[in-house]
Structure 1
Amino acid sequence: MDHDKLEQYIYDEDINAFDILNALIPFYRYTFYRKIAEKRRLSIDNDALELALNIIDELLKLKKSIIEVVPIFRTGR
């Protein structure tokens, strides 16, 4: 698995997403990549750019759902 290539695509597309993912320890980061690849039926090696875009999309959805669920993150507390 070429995680470096995948992470370069993520960095090129959305540096904020890259920073969030880079804060995770590698085990969790790579597990997240693998889960998204399995869910979207993509290969980390052969579909790296498409997978990077899907990872960013899922991360944004996850961020949004966390903000909606956790009251401390909502504005107008």
Structure 2
Amino acid sequence: VVGGALEAVGGTLLFKMCVDNAGETEHVAAACIGDAGNRQFLLLTLPTAGGALKVETAARSTNPVAGIAAAYAGLMDAFKAAA
């Protein structure tokens, strides 16, 4: 579902993982929308026990994983340039 939604708006899934956040296990994905200076990073979280999908900007997120979204995107940019 996330992949289809990102594709519809021209976004890119950066990574997804399962992490423990303050004693709660959750699925976390980072995505970006836009390019160059207009790129916005999103963090999507879903508790493994079930619940609502939360989507927020990485800049406003308090989730510890949010801090690596921009760094990961920069790494992907470097890989594309080297290829």
TM range (shorter): 0.3 to 0.5
Which structure has the highest helix share of the two?
A: 1
TM-score by length of 1: 0.33
Higher relative contact order (CA 8 A, sep 6+): 1
